[in-house]
Amino acid sequence: MLGEFEYLLLSAAARLGDGAYGAAIRREIEGATKRRCSIGALYTTLDRLEAKGLVRTWMGDPTPQRGGRQKRMVRVTGEGVQEAKAFYDAVSRASQGVSWAADRARGLS
Amino acid sequence: MKRVGWWWLGFLARALEPPERDVVLGDLAESGAGFGQAMRDLLGLIVRRQIGLWTSWRPWLSLFGVCGLAGLSLSSIVFRLNVDLGKYLAHYLTDLTDRQEVAFFLCMSVALLVWSWTCGFVLGSLSGRAVWLTWTVFYFVVLDSAWARFVLAGNIILRNPRTHESLLDSLQGTLRLLTATTLPLSIAALLSLFPALFGAFVGVRWRILAVRHAYLIGSVNTALAILTTWATGWYDPAHQPLRWPGVPWSVRLLPFLLVSWPVAYLVATACRQRNEEAETT
C-alpha cells in the first residue's frame, strides 16, 4: 500500500506525463495540497518509488532556465498506475458514508 | 539570488552525489527561491541523504572498526611516539646506540604514516559521503583518546595538587587545553593525521584499490608491524636510570595488528573486485 505522499507524487507525475520532472512535480504537489513540498521529501520518495519499480527516472536535457543543469525526468510505470489506483480505491471505500466525503460529493455535483 | 549565495549552495551541494547535485541546483534555480529558502531545502535533502547512508553497515564498520579499534590503537602509538620524541627535550638517557635510535624512530614514523594512510583510505572507502562525520570522530579519537585515558586513570592531572588550581580556572589554561585537544600540534599527530586525511580523500574517490597496489600496501603494513615489534623490544629496557620492564613480543605486536587490520579489508575488497571482473569477462 502506498503512503499519502507517494500517492501525491505518483498522481502529479501521471498528470504531467512527458513533462514530469522534479521541479514540475513539486509545483503540482504544492498546488494540489496548498502546502510546501520540500526537495528532500520529493527526492527521497522518488528514490523509494523507483526502488519499488513504481516509477522510472532518467536524466533529461539541461535548459537555460535551470542554469544549464539537467532535469530528473519521471515516468509512472504500469505497476505504479496499479498501486495508485489501489490506493485511490481504498481511500474512496474508506470515505463512504463519512460526513466530509458526503459534503464534498454534494459540492462536486 | 546573488552569486555568493549560489557559491554557498554549490559548496553545500557537494555533500550530494554529482548527478543529484546538478538536478537539485537546477530545481532551485528554476523555482526562483530566495537564499534562505533554497538553503533550507538543500540542507533538508542533505540531512535525509546522510541519515540514509547510515542504513548500510559500511559507515558503522568504519565508525567502530576504524575509528574505534584502529583509531584507539593509533592514538596510543601517537602518544608513545610523542613521549619518545620528548626525551630529546627532557634529556633523559637510554643505552641505545645512535644506529638503534635512528632505526627506532624511522621505523615508528614510517609505520605511523603507512598505518594512518591505510586507516584513512578504508575510512573513506567504507564511509563514502558520510566521511565528514567518521573522519571527525577518527580525528578526535587519534588526537585525544590516549590523553583522555591517562587523564581518566589519574596519570595526568589537570589540577595542581598544591594550589588546587585547575587548568580550566584561567582563560589562558582553557585555551591551552582547547588547542591541545583540537589541533595536531605534535610531530607524531601530524605524521598520523595528514596521511590519514589524504588516505580518506583517495578512499572516497577510488573506493577499491587494484590488487597489486593492495598487495603492496599489505606487505608494507605487515613488514612494518614486524619491524616495530622488533624495535620496541630493544627500546623499552634501554631507558636509564630506571629500566622499563621488557614486554613480550606478542603483547607488543597486538596494538600494531589492531591498527593494521584495515589493510585486510583493503586486500579482501581488491581481490573480490578482481574475481567479479574475471567472472563477467
- Of the candidates B22, B30, B44, the beta carbon closest to that of A38 is on B44
Give the span between the Cα atoms of B133 and B14, in whole angstroms: 15
B150 and B24 together in one domain:
no
B45 and B122 together in one domain:
no
3-state secondary structure (DSSP) of residue B176: helix
What ipTM does this complex have?
A: 0.86
Of A50, A44, A37, A41, nearest to A80 by C-alpha is A50
> Nearest-CA residue of chain B relative to A69?
B26
Give residue B90's pLDDT.
60
Give the span between the Cα atoms of A45 and A41, in whole angstroms: 6
Which residues of chain B carry a pLDDT beneath 70? 88-93, 239-244
3-state secondary structure (DSSP) of residue A56: strand
Kindly state the cell numbers that stand for B92.
633523559
As beta bridge partners, residue A76 has A55
Give residue A109's pLDDT.
55
Contact between B27 and A67 using a beta-carbon 8 Å cutoff: no
B77 and B187 together in one domain:
yes
Tell me the per-residue pLDDT of B202-217, one tens digit each, with 9 for 90 and over.
999 999 999 999 999 9
- Of the candidates B27, B40, B49, the beta carbon closest to that of A23 is on B27
Give residue B166's pLDDT.
75
Backbone angles phi, psi at A75, to 5 degrees: -135, 135
Residues whose CB is less than 8 angstroms from the CB of residue B2 and which lie 6 or more positions away in sequence, other chains included: B35
Give residue B105's pLDDT.
87
B42 and B95 together in one domain:
no
Domains in chain A, CATH or no CATH each? 4-104 (1.10.10.10)
Contact between A43 and B22 using a beta-carbon 8 Å cutoff: no
Query: How many domains, in total, are found in chain B?
Result: 2
B81 and B200 together in one domain:
yes
B111 and B20 together in one domain:
no
Host domain of residue B41: 3-52
B13 and B77 together in one domain:
no
B46 and B107 together in one domain:
no
B183: left (phi over 0), alpha (psi -120 to 50) or beta: beta
Tell me the per-residue pLDDT of A28-78, one tens digit each, with 9 for 90 and over.
999 999 999 999 999 999 999 999 999 999 999 888 888 889 999 999 999
Q: CA torsion angle for B59, B65, B66, B69 (degrees, to 10)?
A: 150
B47 and B74 together in one domain:
no
Q: Which of A39, A43, A66 to mutate to test the interface with B (most CBs of B within 10 A)?
A: A39
Chain A residues touching chain B at CB-CB below 8 Å:
22-23, 26, 38-41, 43-44, 59, 62-63, 65-67, 69-72
B124 and B20 together in one domain:
no
User: Hey, is the C-beta of B144 within 8 angstroms of any chain A C-beta?
Assistant: no
Of B95, B94, B116, B114, nearest to B106 by C-alpha is B114
Do B58 and B128 touch, CB atoms closer than 8 A? yes
A34: left (phi over 0), alpha (psi -120 to 50) or beta: left
Closest-CA distance, A92 to chain B, in angstroms, reads: 32
Residues whose CB is less than 8 angstroms from the CB of residue B39 and which lie 6 or more positions away in sequence, other chains included: B8, B9, B12
Tell me the per-residue pLDDT of B46-101, one tens digit each, with 9 for 90 and over.
999 999 999 999 999 999 999 999 999 999 999 988 888 877 666 566 777 888 88
Record the pTM.
0.83
Give the span between the Cα atoms of B246 and B224, in whole angstroms: 20
B274 and B138 together in one domain:
yes
B123 and B173 together in one domain:
yes
Give residue B51's pLDDT.
93
Question: Using a CB-CB distance cutoff of 8 angstroms, which residues of chain B are in contact with residue A51?
Answer: none
